[in-house]
Structure 1
Amino acid sequence: MAPRILVVDDNPELLSLLTQLFEDAGYEVSGASRGKQAIELGRTQPPAAAVIDILLPDMMGYHLADTLRKEQPALPLLFITGVFKGGKHALEARQKYSAAGYFEKPFEAQKLLEAVGKLVPPEKKAVPVASMQDAFEVELDIDVEEEGPQDAMELTGRIKVTGGGNLSAEIRGANLTANPMQKAPVTQVRPPQPGRPPDPVPAGAGGPGMRRGELKDNLPALITAFYLSRETGELGVQRGKVKKVVYFEHGTPVFALSNLLADRFGQFLVRVGKIRPEQLQDAATVANKTNRRTGDVLVERGLLKDTERLYYVGQQVKAIIYSLFSWEDGTYVMSFKEKASTESIKLDLHPANLIVRGVKKLYKPERLRRLLQPEDRLIPAVAPAYQLNEVELERWEAELLPRIDGNRTVAELLAYANRPEQVAYGFLVAMMALGILDRRT
């Protein structure tokens, strides 16, 4: 029987991610988001080791550790924290609790797994074939159309990308506006992308090696879960027939794919005004007849410079990721693999700034007001997921933050900001999404 690990963290997305990683490694997992819940689980399902977040909503992780040790004096303990950082805290944990590990967020989840494995070796089990395949596949040969109205998307002209080897570049261009795509007459079929294997399992098929859930305003938290664990893997999202997947490397989003017709590279070039629809149609016809990529034909005809392709692919990927912030419902799948390493072009985009821009760009006014009421009061978070020096702030935003101390209502903060309501609302909600601000209870 597989050894049981107790994992305790009040961040539900991070808890889900860690649970999946431990299960994939060959453990049974008891997950808890509160100290009292963890105590009960420890009594009914005694663990072989416990991974505990120090700051929990109902008690300190150290107090939880004391209680667990009363039941199991020799229980191996590992602590994770986003607040109590510095060598002295780790030293105290090791001296008082003989802690086998002390991990400061963001931490490398693989090193946490290794530390647990040295204490409690996992059960060696055969990996089912399904788990070695992609848990979530985007059907790249079929393009679907988004239902309902679409909005234009503003994109900054600057992108940072990395390529083969150690190549890294920052490319600056004019700001872009990706307009909604004109209605296509029929659903189009394209040849499989060269170099990419066919779908190994039906799209959305179940199986081990993945964690599913509902997508409800928690996209920032899902991105942050990858960041805090420095994990490599995929976040697949689906709404109706539309599927998109974001690839992460060591906690950073680097690439994205979509089966949405409007997200195709050629259609994206039309949406940003780089080429005309009839030019795309003509190039696509030639590409299909000669079994080549449309982008290659566009370069051949002088409609797209080869040096521009990297820039527009980067912008296309960025637009796919940003577009997910407009989704208020759907489902998601988290899985862990090295698939992103096969991509030749990768974004270099810090998750904190991605979340801030996504919230500001894509959250509509009614959604912002649903998430944050005018009478609410905000306070600085005790355990922020990101540090302020990691976030690009405008001057007025930096001046507003010191005034957020729980004494002023959101309405008062909006008035002080002296910016359009949606702009100020977007900033406050973005800071909550980053875990930098909390609602005062």
Structure 2
Amino acid sequence: MAAPRILVVDDNPELLSLLTQLFEDAGYEVVGASRGKQAIEVAKAHPPGAAVLDILLPDMMGYPLADALRKDNPQLPLLFITGVFKGGKHALEARQKYQAAGYFEKPFEAQKLLEAVTKVLAPEKKAPPAGSLQDAFEVELDIDVEEEGPQDVMELTGRIKVTGGGNITAEIRGANLTASPMQKVPATQVRPPTPGRPPDQPPPGSGAPGSRRGELKDNLPSLLTAYYLSRETGELGIQKGKVKKVVYFEKGMPVFALSNLLADRFGQFLVRVGKIKPEQLQDASAVAAQTNRRTGDVLVERGLLKDTERLYYVGQQVKAVIYSLFAWDEATYVMSFREKASAESIKLDVHPGNLIVRGIKKLYKPERLRRLLQPEDRLIPAVAPSYQFNEVELERWEAELLPKIDGIRTVAELLAFANRPEHVVYGFLVAMMSLGILEKRS
């Protein structure tokens, strides 16, 4: 018996991909579309048993799309999602005119959307796929990989918010940090592969059970946003050669990260920010290996790191791992869903919108910014932004520049208004585009 089919329509490709995986994991066949006309054609070729429709699409509104779908299937159950038409009035209209089975405002809980779909169209009961989510993407922490090519200096603000046990949130303020490139270390500090372990393989193509894969390119902001808009808990694994990094999400918020890169190790991070010296780390690492303890414990024991400082530096280390991903474009990503983040005792407390803005400003090179945005381009405020202005921290000059972005002035003219270095202004504008707050005028 074939799995029940649902149509999912959204013009955000990463969110569409995430929702597709969510429904497929639950036992549905999913047909997706990013445009209204495309959705109509897909529905005629593959009639769905239910439809999840974004209300604001590039070529038509979700309501005319709903009318077109209902012509061929008058009883088709409909669920609407929206980032613009919010409030009880819009939901009431959708239920009265279309008997909508659900109306979800972005950001929404994807699991509640799934529950609403199952009420109108029961999924196919199926056994868990062979090769569970636990195998979707793992960072092998018994191997330390050295990054090829030059490393970037990373500036980190001294303020950090973390959540510990019992949902206690602490904001710690310290001096701004500079994470310098890692110095060369003796090969003895690079742990060898576990005997008998197969060699690393690059992530396979899409279609693996329980995960969604693709090429990273410039999609990192959109991937972070997809988790945020769907309030999903899961993991985003990214691989570049032998280097693997994974970001853990809890209800849409990035809370932790791991890496098999030697420069990202806690001890090496302390060296890079100048907290300890390389020889102190090497000595502490040797003792830790001999006594089967954590290097951090040995550093605390020796008075090189206060126990109260460890939480602060772990939070900064996690933040640095996530930021570093913004420098990558030629890499492969894997999206998967599991509750692993819930088990972490220390969680970063940072809004993804601010994370995206800072990551782009810190690590997008001028040539990359110019590839994404040209001097002759004209920008306008987006109709359906993924984030609101009040969710993002802006500098004064940025807030003063935004009202001048009207679709008439070119990027070159905005650059003159801002009176800031070119790469700084470009970084801000590209960041606002990545948040869906601004878009190019067609």
Does TM, normalized by the shorter one, top 0.5?
Answer: yes
What residue number does 1:195 align with? none
3-state SS of the aligned residue for 1:438? strand
What residue number does 1:331 align with? 332
Distance 2:282 2:190 in 1: 13
- 1:286-330 CA-partner distances (Å, limit 9, x unpaired): 000111100000000000000000000000000000000001211
Shift of 1:202: 7.9
3-state SS of the aligned residue for 2:132? helix
Q: Confirm or deny that 1:240 pairs with 2:241.
A: yes
**Mapping for residues 129-144 of structure 1, pairs under 5 Å:** 129-144=130-145
3-state SS of the aligned residue for 1:130? coil
Q: Confirm or deny that 1:13 pairs with 2:14.
A: yes
Distance 1:281 1:112 in 2: 51
Q: Is the 8 A contact 1:161 1:314 kept in 2?
A: yes
RMSD: 1.6
Which deviates further from its counterpart, 347-356 or 206-215? 206-215
**Mapping for residues 61-72 of structure 1, pairs under 5 Å:** 61-72=62-73
3-state SS of the aligned residue for 2:161? strand
What residue number does 2:388 align with? 387
Distance verdict in 2 for CA 1:421–1:187, change over 3 Å: farther
- Residue identity in the other structure for 2:281: L
Distance 1:133 1:80 in 2: 30
Q: Is the 8 A contact 1:144 1:187 kept in 2?
A: no
- 1:179-214 CA-partner distances (Å, limit 9, x unpaired): 00012342744599xxxxx99x98847831000000
What residue number does 1:261 align with? 262
**Mapping for residues 279-298 of structure 1, pairs under 5 Å:** 279-298=280-299
Distance 1:132 1:255 in 2: 18
Shift of 1:45: 0.6
3-state SS of the aligned residue for 1:324? helix
Shift of 1:86: 1.1
* TM-score (norm: length of structure 2): 0.96
Distance 2:17 2:330 in 1: 19
Q: Is the 8 A contact 1:53 1:80 kept in 2?
A: yes
Specify every segment of 5 or more residues in structure 1 that has no aligned partner in the other structure, as ranges.
193-197
Shift of 1:166: 2.1
Q: Confirm or deny that 1:306 pairs with 2:307.
A: yes
What residue number does 1:346 align with? 347
Distance 1:388 1:140 in 2: 39
Distance 1:91 1:264 in 2: 52
Shift of 1:76: 0.1
In the alignment of these two chains, the number of paired residues is 435
Q: Is the 8 A contact 2:190 2:262 kept in 1?
A: no
Q: Is the 8 A contact 2:202 2:241 kept in 1?
A: no
Shift of 1:151: 1.3
What residue number does 2:407 align with? 406
Distance 2:202 2:344 in 1: 21
- Residue identity in the other structure for 1:413: L
What residue number does 2:162 align with? 161
Specify every segment of 5 or more residues in structure 2 that has no aligned partner in the other structure, as ranges.
none
Q: Is the 8 A contact 2:25 2:210 kept in 1?
A: yes
Shift of 1:37: 1.1
**Mapping for residues 2-81 of structure 1, pairs under 5 Å:** 2-81=3-82
Distance 2:201 2:123 in 1: 30
- Residue identity in the other structure for 1:280: L
3-state SS of the aligned residue for 2:268? helix
Calculate percent identity across the aligned residue pairs: 84
Distance verdict in 2 for CA 1:343–1:202, change over 3 Å: farther
Distance verdict in 2 for CA 1:319–1:187, change over 3 Å: farther
- Residue identity in the other structure for 1:31: G
Q: Is the 8 A contact 2:202 2:239 kept in 1?
A: no
What residue number does 1:426 align with? 427
What residue number does 2:146 align with? 145
Q: Is the 8 A contact 2:8 2:51 kept in 1?
A: yes
